């Protein structure tokens, strides 16, 4: 009988402890939900999904070459930054959230872990949220928010009017050619076997094609002698690019620089010549005193090489 009482007592204590444990677990779960659930204002906004440190560590561990991981992360951050700039230009708010959270917005509760990090969620009150990649922002944002007077759409329609495919854009830079309040764009687009440079200008809120040159840029497919086209950039009022090619055992590496003066005008060309297998090189610098006034719309890469380089 004594043993039976002891067994019953132990059983009662076990049940009591179990109830307390279950109660504690419920409280912990409740606390986790409160911590992980984030409530934001019910308004038009784009949600940026960022990875947690543990997620980054797991991704990093999957790479055999750590440099490849950092290259991937840099690329992701670049496209995220580009997307954010585009969104803010369209006066839409943004919000950052990690991929281990739950988002409560309006009458919707969204489990963020169902989406990949470095992606975006487009949200509009009364509309179904949409998850997209940052590279698609200029296509998806206007459609989702019904932004009709949109820069990208205007440029897209202009390209289509001139039988150019907007998906073939290689580079797109906002650049104020006249240094006023307008937003002009310099584009490089793959046009069949050529690389074309375009200037799309804004006037009275509307965009138009100001210039198109199919002969200005070096490219392997064009048959203009170039083996490569690289280091293209626009900054500090300068448009520049580099190219290289080989002729008669001589390697030519050239840096072209155009300066903005109500048009891009060829300002400076630096040429490095070296013989194959030799470490020494010859440097030649050309300026407007040598080649005169050449605008980007009149520049012909092949003709320039044959006249001033080879």
Q: What is the pLDDT of residue 282?
A: 92
d(Cα 190, Cα 118) in Å, to the nearest integer? Answer: 28
Q: What is the pLDDT of residue 46?
A: 95
Q: What is the pLDDT of residue 239?
A: 92
Ramachandran angles phi, psi of 76, nearest 5°:
-60, -45
Q: In the β-sheet with 45-50, what is the strand arrangement from edge to edge?
A: 93-98, 45-50, 120-123, 130-132
Q: What number of residues does the chain have?
A: 310
d(Cα 294, Cα 239) in Å, to the nearest integer? Answer: 14
d(Cα 297, Cα 161) in Å, to the nearest integer? Answer: 20
- Decide if 142 contacts 150 (C-beta within 8 A): yes
- Decide if 272 contacts 285 (C-beta within 8 A): no
Residue at token pair 């934001």? 40
The list of the chain residues with pLDDT below 70 reads: 1-35, 147-154, 178-181, 204-205, 221-225
**What would the two tokens of residue 127 be?**
């509309």
- Each residue's pLDDT tens digit, 198-237: 998 877 667 788 899 999 998 776 666 677 888 888 888 8
């Amino acid at each position: 009988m004594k043993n039976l009482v002891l067994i019953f007592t132990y059983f009662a204590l076990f049940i009591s402890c179990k109830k307390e444990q279950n109660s504690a677990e419920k409280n912990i779960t409740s606390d986790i939900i409160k911590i992980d659930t984030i409530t934001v204002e019910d308004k038009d906004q784009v949600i940026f999904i960022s990875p947690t440190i543990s997620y980054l560590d797991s991704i990093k561990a999957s790479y055999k070459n750590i440099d490849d991981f950092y290259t991937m992360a840099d690329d992701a951050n670049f496209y995220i930054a580009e997307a954010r700039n585009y969104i803010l230009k369209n006066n839409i708010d943004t919000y950052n959230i990690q991929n281990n959270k739950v988002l409560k917005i309006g009458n919707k509760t969204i489990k963020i872990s169902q989406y990949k990090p470095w992606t975006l969620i487009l949200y509009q009150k009364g509309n179904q949220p949409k998850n997209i990649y940052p590279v698609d922002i200029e296509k998806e944002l206007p459609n989702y928010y019904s932004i009709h007077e949109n820069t990208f759409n205007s440029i897209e329609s202009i390209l289509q009017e001139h039988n150019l495919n907007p998906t073939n854009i290689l580079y797109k830079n906002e650049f104020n050619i006249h240094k006023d309040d307008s937003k002009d764009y310099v584009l490089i687009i793959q046009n069949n076997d050529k690389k074309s440079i375009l200037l799309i200008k804004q006037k009275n809120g509307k965009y138009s094609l100001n210039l198109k040159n199919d002969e200005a840029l070096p490219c392997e497919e064009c048959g203009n002698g170039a083996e490569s086209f690289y280091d293209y950039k626009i900054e500090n009022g300068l448009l520049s690019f580099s190219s290289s090619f080989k002729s008669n055992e001589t390697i030519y590496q050239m840096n072209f620089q155009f300066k903005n003066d109500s048009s891009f005008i060829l300002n400076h060309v630096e040429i490095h010549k070296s013989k194959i297998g030799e470490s020494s090189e010859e440097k030649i610098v050309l300026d407007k005193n040598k080649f005169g006034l050449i605008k980007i719309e009149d520049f012909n890469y092949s003709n320039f090489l044959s006249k001033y380089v080879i």
